[in-house]
Amino acid sequence: MRVFYLVHQYPPEHVGGTELYTRSLARELSQRGHQITVFHRRNVVGVGQKVWSDEGVRVWSAWAGALNPTRCFLATFGEPALERALERALDESQPDLVHVQHLMGLPVTLLRMIRRRGIPFVITLHDFWWVCANAQLLTNDRNQVCAGPRAYVNCTRCALARSGQARFLPALPAIAGLLAWRNHLLRQGLSSAEVLLSPTEFVSHWYAAHGTPKAKLAVMPLGVDRHMPIPLLEPRPEGPMRFVYIGGIAPQKGVHVIVEAFRELRGDTELWIAGDEAFDPAYTQQLRSRASPRVCFLGKLDRAEVWRTLKSADAAVIPSLWYETFSLIAHEAFAAGVPVLASRLGALAEVVKDGLDGLLIPPGDVSAWRTALQSLIDDPGRLAFLRAQVRPPLTVEQHASQIEALYGQLLNARSPRP
């Protein structure tokens, strides 16, 4: 098969859950003999494109100016340079099928271009961007979880807060109209897809509740790309009970909640925090100023270091204050045989089985987090029980087989019958 992946960003320039998933799936299918092409936008000044090879995957990197929140939003309505670049990429690769991973910062006209060529496409719903321009269902003005658009008044307020353009407040009706038109275009794109893949039941139910065609939604959990073999129950060397946080250093990730919870814990324990501290320096400084001596900041880790850190942990902590849609790090922790303590929120409440392979804790409740952590410190046998219940998640190889079968079914369904 000739498969074309359309994604907003790609490693090594950007390393996030969607980007890592796209790369690992593309590489795996390429190794199976399929012709895989990836098209993404670079966030750099100027206009241009570059074609390069990533372990057998042909990558088209196109750019049309550096992005800020406002320009990223406006790009949805059109970007001629990117449209021309995609035309050339499609002409060269001649794909049988397109898999859309994300379109943030890319024009929705790309979907119409693909449809005009008669190429079937599927979309994976990695986050809430197809309904929420902020993608995260977290308000920029109040930093609170959002239920979705309410006549786009709340969306307008959120957009103004993100762009920092409060002087445009008198233009609220026009901005609300623009947001409504954006979502109209994206709904058309969702309706044109053959299948809408959701990584969890939570995401599928959320999109269905917000007008997405239920018949097109299919739940397909993502796979974990393990670069090194990790024994499921390999014991950790003796020492303090170690909790690790690996992820974004940002307020919505709730890192401050776990830092505060650690301040009054009793017993021999430590907290390791890994993530890019340059993303939000002010927030990082706040964390450091509140952290106890038992908190260690590791900085940004590469993939091998992520696995080594998980392997050395007694438990992983995910104190998110927003709706995670899959949580790659939770699945990677399970792949390393490590139980997970997570917020009882969004997909995390679906991924972690409370009292079996981890604990679910009210989001943002410092006292509840402190109690949960202290219970494991006081009773190591309970932690051992949780660890023994951890089961390995789906691997990227297993997931790729499911994706491969889906592609085949879609293409066979469109083949003319004799």
Average pLDDT over residues 230-243: 67
Examine the pLDDT at 116 and tell me if it is beyond 50: yes
Average pLDDT over residues 339-365: 96
Residue 158: its pLDDT value, please?
79
Among residues of the chain, what percentage have pLDDT more than 70?
Answer: 94
- The DSSP result for 112-158, as a single string, is HHHHHTT--EEEE--SSTTT-TTSSSB-TTT--B----STTHHHHHH
Residue 353: its pLDDT value, please?
97
Q: Which residue has the tokens 């469109």?
A: 414
Going by pLDDT thresholds of 50, 70 and 90, the confidence category of residue 43 is very high
DSSP 8-state assignment for residue 224: B
Examine the pLDDT at 8 and tell me if it is beyond 60: yes
Tokens of 160: 């103004």
**Helix intervals (H) in 164-274:** 172-192, 201-209, 255-262
Average pLDDT over residues 47-62: 96
**171 compared with 187, residue with greater pLDDT:** 187
Average pLDDT over residues 340-355: 96
Tokens of 34: 């399929």
Spatial neighbors of 199 by CB under 8 A, at least 6 apart, are: 124, 125, 126, 219, 220, 221, 222, 325, 326, 347
Q: Which helix (H) or strand (E) holds 382?
A: helix 380-389
Examine the pLDDT at 251 and tell me if it is beyond 80: yes
In Å, how far are 47, 56, 163 from 33, measured between CA atoms?
33, 10, 44
Residue 140: its pLDDT value, please?
73
Cα(first)–Cα(last) distance of the chain, in Å?
21
Residue 236: its pLDDT value, please?
57
DSSP 8-state assignment for residue 252: G
Q: Cα(107)–Cα(99) distance, rounded to whole angstroms?
A: 16
Residue 239: its pLDDT value, please?
82
Residue 37: its pLDDT value, please?
98
Domains with residue ranges and CATH for the chain: 2-223+396-414 (3.40.50.2000), 241-389 (3.40.50.2000)
Residue 418: its pLDDT value, please?
44
Q: Cα(183)–Cα(203) distance, rounded to whole angstroms?
A: 18
Examine the pLDDT at 146 and tell me if it is beyond 90: no
Indicate the range of 97-101, 162-166, 261-265, 337-341 predicted with least confidence: 162-166
Going by pLDDT thresholds of 50, 70 and 90, the confidence category of residue 211 is very high
Examine the pLDDT at 233 and tell me if it is beyond 50: no
Residue 23: its pLDDT value, please?
96
Among residues of the chain, what percentage have pLDDT more than 90?
Answer: 78
Residue 228: its pLDDT value, please?
53
If one counts every other C-beta atom within 10 angstroms of the C-beta of residue 113, the result is 15
Q: Which residue has the tokens 């991973």?
A: 101
DSSP 8-state assignment for residue 387: H
Nearest Cα to Cα of residue 224 among 381, 312, 118, 338: 338
Q: Read off the pLDDT of residues 147-173 as tens digits, 9 standing for 90 and up.
A: 888 878 788 777 777 666 555 555 567
Going by pLDDT thresholds of 50, 70 and 90, the confidence category of residue 107 is very high
Residue 15: its pLDDT value, please?
82
Indicate the range of 200-209, 223-232, 243-252, 356-365 predicted with least confidence: 223-232
Residue 14: its pLDDT value, please?
87
Q: Read off the pLDDT of residues 362-372 as tens digits, 9 standing for 90 and up.
A: 999 999 999 99
Residue 216: its pLDDT value, please?
96
Indicate the range of 64-73, 163-172, 319-328 predicted with least confidence: 163-172
Examine the pLDDT at 66 and tell me if it is beyond 50: yes
Q: Read off the pLDDT of residues 270-294 as tens digits, 9 standing for 90 and up.
A: 999 999 998 889 999 999 999 999 9
Going by pLDDT thresholds of 50, 70 and 90, the confidence category of residue 188 is very high
Q: What is the mean pLDDT of the chain?
A: 91
In Å, how far are 74, 201, 337 from 329, measured between CA atoms?
32, 18, 12
Residue 232: its pLDDT value, please?
42
Average pLDDT over residues 73-77: 92
Residue 119: its pLDDT value, please?
96
Residue 166: its pLDDT value, please?
54
Residue 231: its pLDDT value, please?
46
Examine the pLDDT at 72 and tell me if it is beyond 70: yes
56 SS3 class: coil
Q: Cα(402)–Cα(7) distance, rounded to whole angstroms?
A: 20
Class of residue 192 by CB neighbours under 10 A (exposed 0-12, middle 13-18, buried 19+)? middle
Residue 70: its pLDDT value, please?
85
Q: Cα(341)–Cα(372) distance, rounded to whole angstroms?
A: 8
Single-letter amino acid code for the residue at 175: I
243 SS3 class: strand
Q: Phi/psi at 44 (nearest 5 deg)?
A: -140, 165
Q: Given CA atoms 200, 204, 205, 209 in this order, what sign does their dihedral have?
A: positive
